[in-house]
Chain A
Amino acid sequence: MSAKMNAYEKGEDYIVALDAGGTMTDAILVKPDGTFTVGKSISRRDNQAKSYSDSVADAAGNIGLTSDSVHEKLAADIYCGTGMLNAILTGDGKKVGLLVTRGFDDITIMEGGLTYLGQSQEEALHQQLHKHPRPLVDPKNVISISERLGGGCYQGDVHLPAGHTLIPVNEQQVKDATHKLIDQGCEIIGILFIYSFVDPKHEHQAKKIADEIILNRRVNIPVLCSSDVAPVSKENNRMKSLIFQCFAAEQTRESFLKVEKTAQDFGFKGRLLTLLSYGGAVNMDYPRLYETMISGPIGGLIGARFVGKVLNLKNIVTADMGGTSFDVGLLLDGRIGMTKSADIAGHRLALPMVELDSTGQGAGSVVWVDEYKRLHVGPESAGAKVGICFEYDRLTVTDINVALGYVDPDYFLGGQVKLDREKALKALKESVADPLEIDVYEAGAGVLQIINGQMNDLLRTMVASKGFDTHDFTMLYYGGAGPVHMYGFAEDIEFEDIITLPFAAGFSAFGAACAEYMHRYNRGTRIIIPANAKEELLVQIANDISEAWKTLKKEAIHEMDAEGIKPEEIKYRYGVSVRYTGQIESFDTLLETGEMQKSENVRNLIDSFEEMYSKMYPEGAKFSGAGFTITEVNLEAIADKPQPNLLKHKLKNSKPNKNAFVEKREVYHKDGWKSFSVYEMANLMAGNVISGPAIIRDPMTTVIIPPDFEMYLDEFLVLHYRRATRG
């Protein structure tokens, strides 16, 4: 790692990672020994630098340090914010001008007609109420330019080749349009031409003309091309990526740079990093900053990958239950599951994003029964008001956990917040038990069973729909409510192992600290491999792929050099997207090496694709006879970055120390009252085994261990949930 990126020296290895949410900015300060502390501050949208410094100072204060002293010893500083998303949601972004292919003048209004994105099935079904999201570009600032490239056809080499110029760029129209957009006050210009992902030559030609005019008129207006922002197929998704980058990302960059300056003023010698929605950390010079739009959920998955490496876990299912949602993700062979199009605030982007299955049900979700005696959980959530036991006016999942005795009303956030159990119980009776005409505790247990069952189904579906077997996966629970419900979520699903962590509540922020420094590069292609491809064609294809990787590498070296990373410090991962010729969807195929010169290499590529495909679909879904099409060549460029460390402890007795025991508590579990032993998380040691019925309490979360189960703390203090091995 070069000095420009980070002045990391041995011994000065504090790491700070911040998650600037809508309400609070959380900071995780990782100490040199791998342990960490949490700081918080109110999020200030108008002054993120202030939220940043307050939160870091709070964390530093926990261990008797100052913000200055921490910053001087910082090895990595990672900042995840929601500023870009807020700009999209509030419409507070740059004034964007767009040049589009002639005839596609209304593309920003039409946006493919997609109006159901992000809706529940109930909402989607009621389609008469669908509407477009708030427009991000004024239609009068969209100007069409005469030009056309051909993209080739799926039948193969039977017509004009991909990239063929059908209509050259009308340069005068580009000039006129640029002047007009400048006159209309546009602050940034995007260019979106059809099939530019196949060949960017027309977009780059138009950009060159526009840049010259802008220079001559002495205005400062960036010009971005869709082929640089998101060089992949499907013009509507590419258009959204381009608009997001133009509308929100550039101003977010300015805001991030202010945070970076604050950190550097405190003495930080490196560059501020932020997280990509597909799992890497980049600094604020990264050209496609819109890719950091969704950086929160990725933190947890990166953390899971980190834990997986430490514990040598191959496949992991993650379940993150917070206040408002339940998110399930997958790691296969240590890689985070990705999707190629991200749906954000009603827009579909050509953005690789961590693949999560989510439901809008969390600990704060409202529980209610309708006039048909149907039980509902969510979608409304109490958020920070917790539930009727605190400051909310409706029954929530947390209320039920309090009413049944799982959560101690006097130890919420370590006792800082007192909850009212009687109110929770009363609400449970009135809202659920009475309408269903059942006992109040039975009602509470039933509701939890429903919630746990639904999450259980989501977990199964996530794994099974990809064609995998849960026996091959370790289940990792986190989020404030993850450990509270893990016993139910995991019921009857046989995983290789089921784990959680003492710091489950802050795991996403911890994960942000674990991110590797990584850029992803891709290029859309139309490389067709006929089923009976001859040797010379395969060699040609190998060369084509190899050339594409070379181009991407060149791009990576150029960009990362600007970010302070030397070429020799970069490592690469190689991949392609492949489909059976004729299919609409391509499937990401990871390759073991970037070796691609011989026909044999292409055959190996096909084998890798079909092996991966066979894991997802029945044998009958394969169609080798159709041949194969490579639609994308991609590359991940990775550089080293300081990482936190899970501290290894000496294993002690299986029996916990006496000071770990807190009390016995009566809990209504499933079908009746049971006596649970309560332990203090901070006083448990590596090697301890806690037998159920038991509860491990912590200021940030509660771990439930039902009868016949136990929890084992390993040498890293990772908690392993398992069926009891002793009487």
Chain B
Amino acid sequence: MATIAKDIKHTAGGENKRTLLDMINTRDELTSQSGHYYGVTELSLRDSDPIKYERFYSKIHASVLAARESARYVAASPGSREMGEVLWGLATPEGDTLAVSAGFLSHTAIFPVAVRYMAKNQYDVNDGIEDGDVYAVSDGLTGGVPHPGDFYSFVPICIEGEVIAWAIGINHLMENGAPVAGSWATFSVDTFMDGLVCPPMRTGRKLKQESWWKAIWERRTRAATMNILDDKMRLAGCAMIHETTHKLIEEFGLDYYKRAIREVIEESRGMVVDNMKSTMVPGTYNGCAFRLVKYKGLQNVWAHADKNTLIHVRGSVEPNEKGIKIDAEGSSKWGYHSYNATPGGTDCAIFLGMINSFSHNTKVTAGIELAVQRNYPRGSIYNPDNEFTSNSNLWAQTVALNSIGFGAVSRGMFSRGYLEEAFTIDGNWGAFQGQGTTEDGSAYGFTNFEWLGGTGRGAWCYKDGEPLVWAAWSQMATIGDAEEFESTIPALFYLGRKLLPGFFGYGRFRGGPGNSAVHWCVEPGKHLALSRPNGGLSCTPSVGLGVSGAYPGPGSFMISARGTNLDELIAKGETPRDARELLEQHESGKLKIDNLEIWKTDCPELSLQNNDLFVDAAGSSGGWGDPLDREPQLVVNDLNQGVSTEYQFLSDMHGVVAEKNELGTWELDEKATMKKRADLRQLRLNESQPVAEWWKTERQMVQKTGFNEEVKEMYQQSLSFDKFRDEFCSFWQLNEDYMSEE
């Protein structure tokens, strides 16, 4: 621990005070030289007095937990108050996480990005960082923020002018003032269209925001009241952490504090690495996913962005001595669309699954970040070489990258025999957003992210998945209440909020069904329009394939039904309750719709009139195992319980034959089922071909490069990275300069 002692001497306050950048350089140097956080090779404080050490951590942890429990009640947005879309943390002077509250934990990944930007740009030198200052951060490049809809407050904790910690609060805004209303600026082509984007900037002093800051919310966003209250919430929590940290240092002394914070992080890093080693099988776990960006025809004003793009999300996971390496090389390049990421934002995404899997039984600190080595090649969608890229819809594709990592962990667990931890991972969420003006001229903006709060969970390797049971991005799954969400949007009312029958991946074990809501426009006044950003929209939500022969969860979709005869259905008491029922009613002629659109890709703002309907479906999850291996009685049970409603589809999927009895209950025909399964298996054999033949045929297609425009560009971009080129050309036995001239 000599290194620590040396450091303490240097970081004393007063005249010997070092700059923030000096402190970061010391941290980096000590860490890289030793392979241990801050050069801590022995946990001497813990080993010499474990009691005091645990008391110390218990106190800092209690402080962030208390901040959340108390401050979230100040919130205006359901996501902050009810759901897991909020977090408070305490970080070292360099931004390394020391303790976090409950909430969306992976957002700790941005702490060091913002602090390092401030250090590099000498915020502490000109004109200084003082105890109780308040900084706002929502920029991806300088603050590491995933997208501007996630807003951060940083409060430095200083003693004698020296930064000794940061109290940080985060939440997801309901509206952030972009051209497209809501909190995900769909159709942005660069950062200037992303809404309220703040590089780290001081907005308050002495734990109080300055007066001008309120004007920013009022003039630059469409939901000022909500945003101001959320801002107050973040600051209230930070103020509590600020106070308790000062008291903690009074109790333990500054020297103990400075040493202990390093040990806490190193201790957790070691435990995370141990967890990784004990649950994964060595090797490389590859995965890929795709996301369509449909901008063609929508961006006539910005010609350079007027095209569709197929984003290739590629990731590989390799356990090693230091923990795990995640490599995104081979993923697409950045583009003039809103789906780009930054390294900080990408960290936020991939740590989702890593924290759940490897940090849950440790002190949750920056240890996870130290244990996961990341490679986001420069120029790729995860590390653009253009400083003005838009990242407002980052989550719509990085969740797939997280699913690849999380899926790798699940496969590792399965391989090691931890069956209770092995299940199909999906990241299929949904939300909608928009703006309106009531008849009296009152303008408002909104986001409803209920389907971000909870989704079905994929099938386990031994049982079906469950509906609405978790959210891969938060440990606090909850969709909130319809009565709360409805009260935020004056002219939109629920006609349904339920599970969508048959909306899951099929397999020996099926995924948990996804969700569907029907929103009804009533007297919209002057204007009501909404749009849809979506993590499960026009995207393969997980690794693109089901697990062990099963189908993946179906992607999200939405329906706009404009110009309806809804009044007739109201009179009959037969309003549509979910997406499936709406389409069935339309097909049967019961529900008449002048303009029916089924959106499987991003849509422009949809203007709604009286009795128009907006219906969404999201949160599905994938299956596990061959559908023909499913216990036939389980298929019949699903029919009888309404989990699935289409008999013929199920019969063909699972090879199950059943009949309805006089009571209307489905009953299994075992003999016919056995025959149908045998027939289907034979059909499979008939349609199969040897892999060598398949490879040969496919190779010819690959060699011809006769792909459509979007696919061709995707390959060209991915092939511009050596690792993917090597893998791809090696597998298909192509020349090294394949597609490089096109």
What are 29 A-B contacts defined by CB distance under 8 Å?
Answer: A103-B497, A104-B482, A105-B498, A106-B467, A106-B499, A109-B468, A112-B480, A115-B469, A124-B475, A124-B476, A125-B355, A125-B364, A126-B360, A128-B421, A146-B574, A148-B495, A151-B483, A151-B487, A153-B489, A155-B442, A158-B442, A234-B481, A450-B55, A584-B76, A585-B81, A617-B74, A617-B232, A620-B208, A622-B232
With A153-B487, A454-B58, A623-B232 as given contacts, are A121 and B470 in contact (CB-CB < 8 Å)? no
Is B692 positioned at the interface, with any CB of A under 8 Å from its CB?
no
- For the complex, give the distance between the alpha carbons of A588 and B82 in Å: 18
Is A564 positioned at the interface, with any CB of B under 8 Å from its CB?
no
Tell me how far the C-beta of B263 lies from the nearest C-beta in chain A, rounded to whole angstroms: 12
Instruction: Flag if A155 contacts B444 (CB, 8 Å).
Output: yes
Is B539 positioned at the interface, with any CB of A under 8 Å from its CB?
no
Q: B residues 365-419 with Cβ under 8 Å of A?
A: none
Q: B residues 71-91 with Cβ under 8 Å of A?
A: 71-78, 80-82
With A110-B499, A130-B470, A580-B229 as given contacts, are A102 and B54 in contact (CB-CB < 8 Å)? no
Is A582 positioned at the interface, with any CB of B under 8 Å from its CB?
yes
Is B240 positioned at the interface, with any CB of A under 8 Å from its CB?
yes
Is A235 positioned at the interface, with any CB of B under 8 Å from its CB?
yes
Instruction: Flag if A127 contacts B475 (CB, 8 Å).
Output: yes
Instruction: Bits for A261-298, please: 1 = Cβ < 8 Å to B, else 0.
Output: 00000000000000000000000000000000000000
Instruction: Flag if A587 contacts B490 (CB, 8 Å).
Output: no
Instruction: Flag if A125 contacts B483 (CB, 8 Å).
Output: no
Residue of A nearest to B406 (CB): A128
Contacts of B357 in A (CB 8 A): 128
Is B668 positioned at the interface, with any CB of A under 8 Å from its CB?
no
Q: Which 7 A-B pairs have the closest CB atoms?
A: A113-B454, A103-B496, A146-B573, A170-B573, A584-B81, A159-B490, A125-B360
Instruction: Flag if A113 contacts B54 (CB, 8 Å).
Output: no
Instruction: Flag if B577 contacts A144 (CB, 8 Å).
Output: yes
With A144-B577, A583-B76 as given contacts, are A234 and B483 in contact (CB-CB < 8 Å)? yes
Instruction: Bits for B418-448, please: 1 = Cβ < 8 Å to A, else 0.
Output: 0011010000000000000011101010000
Q: Which residues of B contact A (CB under 8 A)?
A: 46-47, 50-51, 54-55, 58-59, 62, 65-66, 69-78, 80-82, 102, 105, 204, 207-209, 225-226, 228-229, 232-233, 235-236, 239-240, 244, 251, 267, 270-271, 355-357, 359-361, 364, 420-421, 423, 438-440, 442, 444, 453-454, 457, 466-472, 474-484, 486-491, 493-499, 515, 518, 522-523, 525, 570, 573-575, 577-578, 641-642
Residue from B270, B484, B518 with most neighbouring chain A CB atoms (10 Å): B484
Instruction: Flag if B466 contacts A131 (CB, 8 Å).
Output: yes
Contacts of A153 in B (CB 8 A): 486-490
Tell me how far the C-beta of B662 lies from the nearest C-beta in chain A, rounded to whole angstroms: 15
Is A150 positioned at the interface, with any CB of B under 8 Å from its CB?
yes
Is A173 positioned at the interface, with any CB of B under 8 Å from its CB?
yes
Q: A residues 74-129 with Cβ under 8 Å of B?
A: 102-107, 109-116, 121-122, 124-129
Is A465 positioned at the interface, with any CB of B under 8 Å from its CB?
yes
Instruction: Bits for A611-635, please: 1 = Cβ < 8 Å to B, else 0.
Output: 0000011111111001000000000
Contacts of B491 in A (CB 8 A): 159
Q: Tell me how many residue pairs across A and B have CB atoms closer than 8 Å.
A: 262
With A465-B240, A621-B233 as given contacts, are A584 and B577 in contact (CB-CB < 8 Å)? no
Contacts of A102 in B (CB 8 A): 495-496, 573, 575, 577
Is A673 positioned at the interface, with any CB of B under 8 Å from its CB?
no
Residue of B nearest to A376 (CB): B54
- For the complex, give the distance between the alpha carbons of A234 and B477 in Å: 16
Contacts of B575 in A (CB 8 A): 102-103, 146, 167
Is A446 positioned at the interface, with any CB of B under 8 Å from its CB?
yes
Out of A113, A121, A167, name the residue touching B469 (CB < 8 Å): A113
Contacts of A128 in B (CB 8 A): 356-357, 421, 423, 457, 470
Residue of A nearest to B420 (CB): A129
Is A337 positioned at the interface, with any CB of B under 8 Å from its CB?
no
- For the complex, give the distance between the alpha carbons of A449 and B52 in Å: 9
Residue from B80, B267, B438, B478 with most neighbouring chain A CB atoms (10 Å): B478
Tell me how far the C-beta of B683 lies from the nearest C-beta in chain A, rounded to whole angstroms: 35
Instruction: Flag if A113 contacts B477 (CB, 8 Å).
Output: yes
- Pick out which of these stretches binds chain B: A1-9, A213-221, A367-375, A704-712: A367-375
- For the complex, give the distance between the alpha carbons of A34 and B694 in Å: 91
Q: 15 new A-B pairs (CB below 8 Å) besides A139-B641, A166-B522, A623-B225?
A: A102-B496, A104-B496, A110-B468, A110-B499, A116-B476, A130-B477, A131-B469, A194-B483, A234-B481, A447-B51, A460-B62, A582-B226, A583-B76, A584-B81, A620-B209
Instruction: Flag if A620 contacts B207 (CB, 8 Å).
Output: yes
Instruction: Flag if A110 contacts B82 (CB, 8 Å).
Output: no
Instruction: Flag if A583 contacts B75 (CB, 8 Å).
Output: yes
With A234-B483, A461-B66 as given contacts, are A173 and B573 in contact (CB-CB < 8 Å)? yes
Instruction: Flag if A154 contacts B236 (CB, 8 Å).
Output: no
Instruction: Flag if B229 contacts A158 (CB, 8 Å).
Output: no
Instruction: Flag if B522 contacts A160 (CB, 8 Å).
Output: yes
Tell me how far the C-beta of B274 lies from the nearest C-beta in chain A, rounded to whole angstroms: 8
Tell me how far the C-beta of A707 lies from the nearest C-beta in chain B, rounded to whole angstroms: 20
Q: Which residues of A contact B (CB under 8 A)?
A: 102-107, 109-116, 121-122, 124-132, 139-140, 144-146, 148, 150-155, 158-160, 166-167, 170, 172-173, 194-195, 233-237, 372-375, 436, 446-447, 449-450, 453-454, 457-458, 460-461, 464-467, 492, 580-585, 587, 616-623, 626
- For the complex, give the distance between the alpha carbons of A583 and B454 in Å: 22
Contacts of A139 in B (CB 8 A): 641-642
- For the complex, give the distance between the alpha carbons of A160 and B491 in Å: 8
Instruction: Flag if B359 contacts A125 (CB, 8 Å).
Output: yes
Out of B55, B438, B475, name the residue touching A116 (CB < 8 Å): B475
- For the complex, give the distance between the alpha carbons of A124 and B62 in Å: 16
Contacts of B102 in A (CB 8 A): 121, 124
With A116-B476, A159-B438, A373-B47 as given contacts, are A465 and B69 in contact (CB-CB < 8 Å)? yes
Tell me how far the C-beta of B487 lies from the nearest C-beta in chain A, rounded to whole angstroms: 5
Tell me how far the C-beta of A193 lies from the nearest C-beta in chain B, rounded to whole angstroms: 11
Instruction: Flag if A620 contacts B475 (CB, 8 Å).
Output: no
Instruction: Flag if A584 contacts B77 (CB, 8 Å).
Output: yes
- For the complex, give the distance between the alpha carbons of A83 and B97 in Å: 46
Contacts of B442 in A (CB 8 A): 155, 158
- For the complex, give the distance between the alpha carbons of A457 and B226 in Å: 33
With A139-B641, A155-B490 as given contacts, are A132 and B469 in contact (CB-CB < 8 Å)? yes
With A104-B498, A112-B480, A159-B490 as given contacts, are A582 and B233 in contact (CB-CB < 8 Å)? no
Instruction: Flag if A109 contacts B490 (CB, 8 Å).
Output: no
- For the complex, give the distance between the alpha carbons of A583 and B231 in Å: 12
Contacts of B47 in A (CB 8 A): 373
Contacts of A233 in B (CB 8 A): 481, 483-484
- For the complex, give the distance between the alpha carbons of A482 and B230 in Å: 40
Tell me how far the C-beta of A652 lies from the nearest C-beta in chain B, rounded to whole angstroms: 40
Residue from B51, B495, B518, B642 with most neighbouring chain A CB atoms (10 Å): B51
Instruction: Flag if B490 contacts A457 (CB, 8 Å).
Output: no
Contacts of B72 in A (CB 8 A): 585
- For the complex, give the distance between the alpha carbons of A153 and B491 in Å: 9
Tell me how far the C-beta of B581 lies from the nearest C-beta in chain A, rounded to whole angstroms: 9
- For the complex, give the distance between the alpha carbons of A374 and B363 in Å: 11
Contacts of B225 in A (CB 8 A): 581-582, 623, 626
Tell me how far the C-beta of A397 lies from the nearest C-beta in chain B, rounded to whole angstroms: 15
Residue of B nearest to A164 (CB): B522
Instruction: Flag if A621 contacts B226 (CB, 8 Å).
Output: no
Tell me how far the C-beta of B661 lies from the nearest C-beta in chain A, rounded to whole angstroms: 16
Instruction: Flag if A112 contacts B479 (CB, 8 Å).
Output: yes
With A109-B467, A112-B481, A618-B236 as given contacts, are A453 and B81 in contact (CB-CB < 8 Å)? no
Out of A104, A113, A145, A454, name the residue touching B479 (CB < 8 Å): A113
Contacts of A375 in B (CB 8 A): 50-51, 54
Residue of B nearest to A123 (CB): B360
Instruction: Flag if A620 contacts B236 (CB, 8 Å).
Output: yes
- For the complex, give the distance between the alpha carbons of A116 and B72 in Å: 17
- For the complex, give the distance between the alpha carbons of A651 and B494 in Å: 69
Residue from A166, A436, A585 with most neighbouring chain B CB atoms (10 Å): A585
